[in-house]
Chains A and B, each alone.
Chain A
Amino acid sequence: MKPWAFALACLALCACADQQEQELKRAASWSATALAVARYWLQGDLPDTYAKHALEKASEELAKGPLPDASEPVNEMIEAIGKRDQLAMRRLIADLEKR
């Protein structure tokens, strides 16, 4: 019994150490998603409904993650779509790309 439990505990520990890295990867992924959605929307390749919904999802996920401030610019993007403000969107994209 013992060696079996020991091995499982080791695996669990390894998984935990990975966890922090996982969270950061997830946050990066959602930021990248928001950026892509914003860019495609600007190009006219995405309908407003979906773009807003996808950004809302991204904002939600970022707020839950290790860098909740990252959801701020995404919220502003959602507003930009609502107002159909392409200039504001261009600025937000440029800002996000710099980070």
Chain B
Amino acid sequence: MNKSVDLVRDVLDTQVLDREQRPLGKVDGIGLELREGAQPRVAYLEVDGVTAWRRLGERVARWAQKLARCWERDGHPFRFTWSQVRDFGIDIEIEVDGERSAPFDLEHWLREKVVGRIPGGR
């Protein structure tokens, strides 16, 4: 099974879904592992807003980071490996429970602080 995957074309910026088919975010970054005398390997795929903004420049990333600190729970960007990928096509489905993962921090923060406080929000 020697299927090749175009990382930039088919993986980067692709929608990621969790095990319940919930949208988790987009593949904002790809981490490669550089090895001596061997081809680089895909170490992880990252879903993190700041990573996406970093593609526009370091200064933008710093602003995004400052903002994200308001709702971040543990400050680690969400990463997953290829072994967690269940299905790969138009979207990437992974074997993870999205509700508890970092990309949902903002969603949870808004639910608690804002939406939950407005009537009709439930």
Do A and B have CB atoms closer than 8 angstroms in the complex? Answer: no
A→B interface (CB under 8 Å) = none
